[in-house]
Amino acid sequence: MKLLVSNDDGIFSLGVRSLADALAEVGHEVTIVCPNRERSATGHGLTLHEPIRAEVVKSIFHPKVMAWSCSGTPSDCVKLGLWGLMESPPDLVLAGINHGGNLGSDVLYSGTVSAAMEGFIQGIPSIAFSLANNTSQEFQGAATFAKTLVDQIHKQPLPEPTLLNVNVPPLPLSEIAGVKITRQGIRRYIETFEKRADPRGKTYYWLVGEAIEDMEQPDHLHLPPEIPTDVQAIRDRYISVTPLQYNLTDAAAVYCLQEQGLRI
């Protein structure tokens, strides 16, 4: 398959190298377009007021991988790859493997999920891969599952373009309990800003929020409560696969506001 790969951890991250090399080794045609530095938590930001630069990167990936380093955001990288660097559209857009989970509300901030979302917006099936730990280097299990999932989609294409958010426990593949199709859970943060002073005595602030992974089950209008959340699946040592969409319309609120009969 023809694959476009991006991330938000940067072109030199172990996660993207693990993903791209694993896919190239089994014969997929892999093009990488990644930020030239870490761009985590940039969401779906785009570069509109300055030029975007891209340079070929050699020697650090599998010989059959075509890799580009881009000055822009993860979403910029995917746009540039699709419309500026690749001669024809890919079969899949992949993002990751992110160093750290993208669970619950994380998807709203994540550059990894936004990179995959950009492919989905353009009508291309897309997958975001994340290793659900910020310190583990256990990327091999996630890379192996990525190969399996891409091969399955190749043999049984999804009926329509879909965005999948995949989170993998930071464990050897033999210790992972299995795969769960999940719904988006809840992940809240205790937001804390440390007040500091730079060497010239000027004040600055550093965000040091702490995640709270709630076991609370959020309501989903069209899904039964027995479908586990992504947070719960990871806690139980399962790979979590959550289909996402970019339509954020709150259907219940639409009906509520219609009943209220808003007027000017």
Q: Which residue ranges make up each domain of the chain?
A: 2-183+221-255
Residue 144 pLDDT: 96
Q: Which of 14, 210, 201 is nearest to 96 (CA)?
A: 14
pLDDT at 60: 93
| pLDDT attached to residue 191 | 67
Q: How many CB atoms lie within 10 A of CB 152?
A: 11
CA–CA gap between residue 112 and residue 135 (Å, rounded): 17
What string of DSSP letters covers 57-93? E-SSS-TT-EEEEESS-HHHHHHHIIIII-SS--SEE
**The pLDDT of residue 251:** 80
Structure tokens at 13: 């991250």
On the question of a cis peptide bond just before residue 227, with omega within 30 degrees of 0, the verdict is no
Residues of the chain with pLDDT under 70: 189-191, 209-221
Task: Give the chain's length.
Answer: 264
Q: State the pLDDT at residue 218.
A: 62
246-262 tens-digit pLDDT: 888 888 888 888 888 87
Q: What is the pLDDT of residue 213?
A: 59
Whole-number pLDDT of residue 3 = 98
* pTM score: 0.90
What is the phi-psi region of residue 230: left when phi exceeds 0, alpha when psi lies from -120 to 50, beta otherwise? alpha
Tell whether domain 2-183+221-255 is in CATH 3.50.30.60. Answer: no
Angle between helix 14-25 and 140-155 (nearest 10): 40
